[in-house]
Amino acid sequence: MSMIPNPTTLDDKLKLMAKVARSMTRYPDQVQFKVAVTRNRADIDIVAHPNDARRLVGANGTVIASMVQLTKMLFRNEEQYVSYGRVESNDSPAESRVPFKPKKFWPRDDIVALADELTKAIFPNHNSTVETLDTSDVRTALNIYVVGIDSYSESQYTKAMARVFSAIGFLHGRILQVNVNAQEVINKTL
């Protein structure tokens, strides 16, 4: 995965969200982000393989709702309103559901880099770190530390990241547990 350096333009931010969406899919090359941009609005429709479309929506729409939340956080300082329209299936035949299969080897570095890139894009003026900790089973704690964010941002970011990265982890045979920790800024004069 290539990193989008400090996404500041509308296109860069939309590419980052498309990258997040593709990381949740079994057929990332079939994911299309169709974006209609007007003066102060961008509407996004996603077209994907039928199995991936279900994965992107999630149970009762929880995953797409989290994508919306992350996108709103990413665009919170812009004069651009971004909304997701539909998630549609392309013409590929649907496959039977694949049960969860734990995997010992998974793309840890890519997933950590994506979490780090997204965190730095959403909180560009804050220092942040992403770490992982594996347990003896298939669980991995994805710990995100951000300096100086408020508790509301921390809780909203935790919820959205947990849903999105759970879907990413499931695809790669891991149960990812996301923890976002807001760290205080301590100013001391010596």
Burial 24-34 (b: 16+ CB within 10 A, else e): bbeeeebbebe
Q: Tell me how far CA of residue 69 lies from CA of 23, 32, 179, in angstroms.
A: 17, 20, 17
pLDDT in tens, the chain (190 residues): 555 556 678 889 999 999 999 999 999 999 999 999 888 888 999 999 999 999 999 989 999 999 999 999 998 878 788 889 889 999 888 888 877 777 878 899 999 999 999 999 999 989 999 999 988 788 999 999 999 888 888 999 999 999 999 999 999 889 999 999 988 765 555 5
Domain ranges for the chain, please list them.
10-89, 108-183
pTM of the model as a whole:
0.87
Look at the domain 10-89 and name its fold: GMP Synthetase; Chain A, domain 3 (3.30.300)
What is the sign of the dihedral through the CA atoms of 6, 11, 13 and 19? negative
CATH code of the region 108-183: 3.30.300.20
pLDDT for the residue 1: 53
The reply to whether 10-89 and 108-183 are identical in fold is yes
